[in-house]
Structure 1
Amino acid sequence: MRAPLRWVLWDVKDTLLRVRSSVGEQYCDEAKRMGLSLKPAEVDAAFRQAYRHHSRRFPNYGISQGLDGQSWWTEVVKATFSQCRVRDPVLLNEMALNLYKNFCNADNWEVFPDTKSALEKVSSLGLKMGVVSNFDNRLEAILRGCGLLSHFNFLLTSEAAGVEKPHVAIFDQARRKCDVLPTSIVHVGDHYTNDYLASRSAGIHGFLLDRTNNSNQHNIPKEHLLSSLDDLPARLQQHMEKCS
């Protein structure tokens, strides 16, 4: 007999919610408030380059190198604007601080239409829920502002964990918080490597959320795929019935 299902763990970004408008647009809005005129496409390209560079040099917000989420993002923002010919250090610092705070604002995030109903239905099945996310410590404020925080028994960000997905250690920390066997846990996320493969490597039942039907290349069993979060409660119900 399978271990009974007790917990559902969630990824957040691009699973439960997403950035409402592009980074380039949001950065340009901040620049405009400072009297600067920049093009979103140029800023987007600069951001992608800065983000990739800092992610390689200082993985997981540079926690192991003495940084934290805020200092890491400050440098990413400054590097982005510097590539767009903004040179004033005072201005760069001010925009970086403002943008770090702005992304705590629920107005900058869009909750997917299927998110709240899925969370409510999963809870109605008697399952506890937690978050395992490659995110910085602003996540609690963001989820609170989006009206989602109350659904979760705990949040585990990669900044707080000191390790990021797909490393199995972050799932081991989550399992200890759940205080059950890995086979009593389900994880739901949109990233094939970070969510699906990583959770299953930790012995957890992984579901891959594929809103764009782009997962055929990975040869994933159909029963592990979700085209919408609306599909999840029935899948969990089936799993629970098999374990009873």
Structure 2
Amino acid sequence: MLTAVLFDLDGTLLDRDESVKKFIHSQYDRLNRSVGHIPRETYIKRFIELDQRGYVWKDKVYQQLTEEFQITRLTWEDFLQDYLTNFKNHCVPFPNLIPTLEKLKSRNLRLGMITNGKGQFQLDNIKALGIEKYFDTILISEWEGIKKPDPEIFKRALHQLNVSAHQSIFVGDHPENDVKAAQNVGMKGVWKKDPQWDSIEADYIVDDLAELLLF
């Protein structure tokens, strides 16, 4: 019997690729006095390349950008602060996010979230999506001192929800950090399809969050 559904954030609930595009377009306009000598598409394309879908923290990204493009009006720290302050204003949810969470809650399921990343930054994004209230526990790797795929962070979430692994599913877009890591602690692993990956071994595969309501 299913008692809990746990989620990843980026690429699962938050459409990070679209959010990044919105943010970086906005940053280019906001800081145009400092980056206007760089063609818009060049700046955006290079940011996305260096970002590696969020797996490179932005201090490294902005250090590289300011050096490559010889940006002098602002420091890389200024760009990083702009990212920390403004990214949350450009968060794009995946379709059916809130209706799905509402229906899962209406079934008296416990909901949890485990996300790698910086604590306050990730929490700001969760709040920007308007979904914090649906979750019984939220674990963010910086604040937990461990990150996926470490089994301990999954066990900690299950303990906080007071549910067993075999009665829980974990929904995420990453084959190793989400699906396999969850399976390794006895949970069912649900892969939220991501075009970056080919065929993934998962207990279930979904294209749209609303498909979780069929379980």
The TM-score range, normalised by the shorter chain, is: 0.7 to 0.9
Distance 1:77 1:155 in 2: 29
TM-score, reference length from structure 2: 0.83
Distance 1:26 1:168 in 2: 38
Q: Unaligned regions of 5+ residues in structure 2, if any?
A: none
2:93 aligned with 1:111, yes or no? Answer: yes
Distance 1:12 1:210 in 2: 14
State the match for 1:66 in structure 2: none
For the residue of structure 1 that corresponds to 2:169, the secondary structure is strand
Q: 1:202 pairs with 162, 172, 185, which one?
A: 185
State the match for 1:187 in structure 2: 170
Q: Which range is displaced more, 165-174 or 126-135?
A: 165-174
Distance 1:13 1:200 in 2: 19
> Are the equivalent residues in 1 in contact too, given 2:35–2:71 (CA < 8 A)?
no
Distance 1:26 1:81 in 2: 17
> Are the equivalent residues in 2 in contact too, given 1:211–1:228 (CA < 8 A)?
no
State the match for 1:226 in structure 2: 206
Distance 2:143 2:160 in 1: 13
For the residue of structure 1 that corresponds to 2:92, the secondary structure is strand
- The one-letter code of the counterpart of 1:128 is R
Q: Deviations over 1:176-231 (max 9, x none)?
A: 2122221122111111111111110111111111165964x33x36x611121111
Distance 1:129 1:55 in 2: 25
> Are the equivalent residues in 2 in contact too, given 1:6–1:185 (CA < 8 A)?
yes
> Are the equivalent residues in 1 in contact too, given 2:170–2:187 (CA < 8 A)?
yes
Query: How big is the shift at 1:29?
Result: 3.0
After superposition, the Cα gap between the structure-2 partners of 1:55 and 1:151, relative to the gap in structure 1 and judged at 3 Å, is closer
Q: How many pairs align?
A: 210
State the match for 1:92 in structure 2: 76
Query: How big is the shift at 1:25?
Result: 2.9
TM-score, reference length from structure 1: 0.74
Q: 1:126 pairs with 78, 92, 108, which one?
A: 108
- The one-letter code of the counterpart of 2:80 is A
Query: How big is the shift at 1:49?
Result: 6.0
> Are the equivalent residues in 2 in contact too, given 1:42–1:84 (CA < 8 A)?
no
For the residue of structure 1 that corresponds to 2:111, the secondary structure is strand
- The one-letter code of the counterpart of 1:168 is P
Q: Equivalent pairs: percent with the same residue?
A: 22
> Are the equivalent residues in 1 in contact too, given 2:28–2:35 (CA < 8 A)?
no
Q: Deviations over 1:140-191 (max 9, x none)?
A: 2222222111111121111112222222222122122122221122111111
Distance 2:158 2:99 in 1: 25
Q: Unaligned regions of 5+ residues in structure 1, if any?
A: 57-71, 236-244
For the residue of structure 1 that corresponds to 2:75, the secondary structure is helix
Q: Superposition RMSD on alpha carbons, in Å?
A: 2.7
